[in-house]
Structure 1
Amino acid sequence: MSDDGRHGLTIIAFIGSVFSPYYAWSAEKDPFAHCAMNVVLYGDRGRFAMTERRAASLSRGPDHIAIGPSAMHWDGTALTVRIDERGAPLPHRLRGTVRLEPRGFTAGPFHLDRAGRHRWWPMAPSSRVEVDFDQPDLRWSGGGYFDTNDGDEPLEAAFSRWTWCRADLPDGAAILYDVHHRDGGGQNLSLRFSADGSRREIRPPPAASLPATGFWRMPRETRSDDGRSRVLATYEDTPFYARSLLASTLGGEPVRAMHESLSLDRFRNPLVRLMLPFRIPRPLAP
């Protein structure tokens, strides 16, 4: 999120794209045949790109990953992302560079399910980000976050839904992750990290209700110190996913929190999956 609150950015490098209809429909279930660099700009110059590519378009090593024309590279102090993508169904161009500098690293991953098949590591919860795009013409600086996820089965096999949010604090960051398991029950991760990545104690805040999104009526909820939260902006409103900017109170501080709601019950609906190729093209050539 930019320091002035006007712009936001999400970048996800997928190997075995968990939201790919082609991956779900494939017989081989080869994750390397379903890769994508998902890039989303939020704000008055919003853009979305997620082109799925085959294994021939993937290159990776200990310090880099490239998927098609876009790539991430770690030089020991910063992660540099070079982006060259096209959106769909409108063929707008996204081309630019993002540099993320972590202020510290956390100790290790968390298991999101009882069987340990799904792992999440909020590796650098407090970072600085520099954004420099040629297309669209956009430059800003702000707070950032870097995490990794991996799993041994489809998300919808283990979870029915989740909500997640992250907010900068004066001395680090807070992350709230409420996961609802497919077989009942769930898990609440209420985490607070200092800027250097060390974990600090935080009591799980009480639940705070939020209105459903305007078009697709995606349910939203979060947590806040005083049990209240307000939606400042809705950046994504889709049949199974919503991303929003919230005004809340966490760790005794008023915060702007980036928030997501995911319904995997909605996602696995066959009609929803038939809609996804309009947003996630898969070229015939590598």
Structure 2
Amino acid sequence: MRRLDLALPETPKGDAWRDALPALPDTPGAYRWFYADVTAGEYSAVCIFMVGSLFSPRYSAGVKRGALPLEHCAVNFALYHRSTRRRWVLSEYPRAAVRVLGGGRVLHIGRSMLEYGLDGTVCMEVDEQCAPFGGPLRARLVLEPQVMAADEVQLVPGLPHYWRALAPRAKARLEVLSEDVVAEGMGYHDSNHGEELLGARLPGWHWARVHGPEETVVDYHLPGGVAPLRVTAGALGTKSERRPLLAEARDTSLTGWGLRVPARLYAGNEPVDEPRLLESSPFYARVEARRDGLDVMGEVADFRRFHSPFIRWMAHFRTRVERAV
């Protein structure tokens, strides 16, 4: 995969990722995104910076004509109160930029920015309009990692899709200025990247992260009989491993869109609760559960569905297409 001149070296292992921003992709179908979530009291929020947006119907339709990931960058932010969505941002832009600020590295998409500071903090600032026709939203999420980053792993042997838990367990401060929300809690941060369009050969996945009192566990489930991945992060360090397939499949249920989601969310083998649907669409669902100091956030994605012309048409109604800023 070719690299842009504006990009910085690939993320090294260990703690050194904190002052480096990975190179951005520039080949058709490639993507890289940076995901973070936070649970803070009655609030939870998700923020994603995307280069080669997985939510972009224009990128999905244009790849065969040579559409480039930097032409389809996006910022997604969702705020939830007691598992009910309060605000939704999905803004798509035709460019992104990387610059050095005070020795740290900053990714700019529109008026929003993602910064990796030299002190180890991760800061996401969102300055957008709610989609599709909502008012302005300004938010700031700051993560202070409490554990080492995990090693990068290949999701499926032989396919060019990769995942890395950069800050699997972090102190978090969430400020949503336009909603008068200030809250502190637990945060999580990871990054995915790949060299081909999701759904081309990798049909989908589901994953969940569990914050407990002492450690965080992330389970990543993949299709086709591929052994799931697990990251465990706590006082004893951060460990990545492949787990054996479950002897018995866990129960699932169908959303109103016919997407199959877990019927219960688990902390290891311990059921936490029935998931609450934060987001539900024909190809994507976001779920949450909390009980007795355990907090679970997860996602289910079927990327093959997204490439249906009808689903791409529907996706236009949850997106704002913006000019470069």
Instruction: Give TM-score scaled by structure 2 length.
Output: 0.77
- Classify 1:104/1:256 alpha carbon distance in 2 versus 1 (closer, same or farther; 3 Å): closer
Q: Given the superposition, is the C-alpha separation of residues 67 and 285 from structure 1 closer, same or farther in structure 2, using an over 3 Å criterion?
A: closer
Aligned length: 276
Name the SS of the counterpart of 2:66 in structure 1: coil
Gaps of 5+ in 2: 1-37
Residue 20 of structure 1 aligns with which residue?
56
Q: Is the 8 A contact 2:110 2:324 kept in 1?
A: no
The equivalent residue for 1:283 is 322
Q: Which residue of 1 aligns with 2:111?
A: 69
Pick from 114, 120, 144 the counterpart of residue 101 of structure 1. 144
- In structure 2, the residue matched to 1:171 is 214
Give the alignment's Cα RMSD to 1 decimal. 2.6
Quick check: 2:121–2:142 contact (8 Å CA) kept in 1? Answer: yes
Report the CA distance shift for 1:216/1:103 in structure 2 as closer, same or farther (over 3 A): same
**Contact persistence 2:213–2:294 (CA under 8 A):** no
Check conservation: 1:126, 1:173, Cα contact below 8 A: yes
Letter of the structure 2 residue corresponding to residue 16 of structure 1: G
Q: 1:196 to 1:53 in 2, by over 3 A?
A: farther
The structure whose RCO (Cα within 8 Å, separation 6+) is larger is: 2
2:76 pairs with one of 15, 38, 53:
38
CA distance in 2, matches of 1:175, 1:239: 24
Q: What is the SS of the residue equivalent to 1:187?
A: coil
Match of 1:219 in 2: 260
Please list, as runs of the form range in 1=range in 2, the aligned pairs for 1:1-286 lying within 5 A after superposition: 1-4=38-41, 6-26=42-62, 27-43=65-81, 44=84, 46-55=86-95, 57-61=96-100, 63-76=105-118, 77-180=120-223, 184-195=224-235, 197-199=237-239, 206=246, 207-213=249-255, 215-221=256-262, 225-226=268-269, 228=271, 230-247=273-290, 255-283=294-322
- Structure 1, residues 6-34: CA drift from partner, whole Å, max 9, x if none? 21111111111122111122222211111
2: CA distance, partners of 1:121 / 1:245: 21
The sequence identity of aligned pairs, in percent, is 28
Note the C-alpha offset of 1:260: 1.0
Long gaps (5+) in structure 1: none
Q: TM-score, normalised by structure 1?
A: 0.86
**Deviation readout 1:159-212 (Å, 9 max, x if unpaired):** 2221100011232210011011xxx43231133122574227896695432432
Supply the distance in 1 between the matched residues of 2:251 and 2:52 (Cα, whole angstroms): 33
CA 1:145–1:195: 2 relative to 1, 3 Å? farther
Do 2:230 and 2:240's aligned partners in 1 also have CA atoms closer than 8 Å? no
